[in-house]
Homo-oligomer: A and B are copies of this chain.
Amino acid sequence: MRRLCEHLIGQGVNGLTPLGSTGECAYLSIEDRCKVVQAVVDASNGRVPVVPGVFSRSVKGAIDQARAVQRLGADGMVLTLDSYFPLSQTAVRDYFLRVADAADLPIIIYTNPNFQKVDLGIDLIVELSRHPRMAGIKDASGKTGRLLSLSMQCREGFGIYAASAHIGVNVMLLGGVGLFAGPACVLTPENVRLYELCQAMRWDEAMALQKILWRFSEAFASYNLAACVKAALEHDGFTPGNPIAPQPRLADEAKQTIWKILDEVRMEARTYLDSVIGGVAS
């Protein structure tokens, strides 16, 4: 974990966000989550912000985790509401506001309707955005129009972030401020370049690069996310181990497919970046 963080910072990422969906937060004990945060904070050592996931079914559990990540030195948190029973929007609001009141860190709200049972409606997110500790939203719905509505209605300064189900360039074009993306763990400089092209408003070139990178996003979405990123990290010399059972590990054939895509995407991206936009690198 430390070696990976060192590597990612060396490649130019602007932040580290452990304990998301891909990071198997939902499968880790509270103790293991704390170890992950500790390792990432130590590795970053203040160079980039560390914004781990806080993920709970109960207000109390979330506040406990939020305080723990703060004690461990995190710079913010990505807050998720897990649930078992259905909840009204009133109860969902209650969860986010009570954690925001209790924790002394900036909060990114995380919504992922593919995996989470409770979704947050646009009206509720707009309301939550007015709380001074609510810093932004990481949305994995894949419905880009939803982000346009949020960017227009949420309070000034509330950041819209794309998760990997979205086309990063499209989210940046509509006013997004960044990308939270599992694939960026392995296509790191490529995603940093993508972000820089967007910041420079070079949309056609950004989209050309996005298309090259999208092949990996498609593979990522078609396998178990954790298994896919672990396989890709293995290709790069890391030892991430297997997904937590009963999540299956990737079959060898699938691994080979991912490694091949990874190699091809990297080569294609390098060629594109070298020849067309040599001057982009920061």
Contact = CB atoms under 8 A, between A and B. Distances in A.
Contacts of A57: 26-27, 244
Interface string A139-162: 000111110110010000000000
A278 to B, nearest CB: 21
Nearest to A245: B59
**Most chain B CB neighbours (cut-off 10 Å) among A29, A144, A204:** A144
Copy number in this complex?
Answer: 4
Given A27-B84, A244-B60, A145 B145 contact: no
Given A84-B115, A148-B211, A211-B152, A246 B174 contact: no
A13 interface: no
Contact of A91 (B92, B166, B246): B246
A146 B217 CA distance: 11
Interface in A157-200: 165-167, 169-170, 173-175
B201 A246 contact: no
A166 B144 contact: yes
Given A145-B217, A152-B211, A214-B149, A59 B246 contact: yes
A45 interface: no
A247 B91 contact: yes
The 7 A-B residue pairs with the shortest CB-CB distance, nearest first, are A26-B84, A95-B246, A170-B170, A59-B245, A142-B143, A144-B144, A203-B203
29 contacts: A21-B84, A26-B85, A27-B84, A29-B30, A59-B244, A81-B246, A84-B115, A85-B224, A85-B247, A87-B247, A91-B246, A91-B247, A92-B246, A94-B245, A94-B246, A94-B248, A98-B246, A117-B117, A143-B165, A144-B166, A144-B170, A148-B210, A148-B211, A149-B214, A167-B174, A170-B170, A174-B210, A174-B211, A201-B203
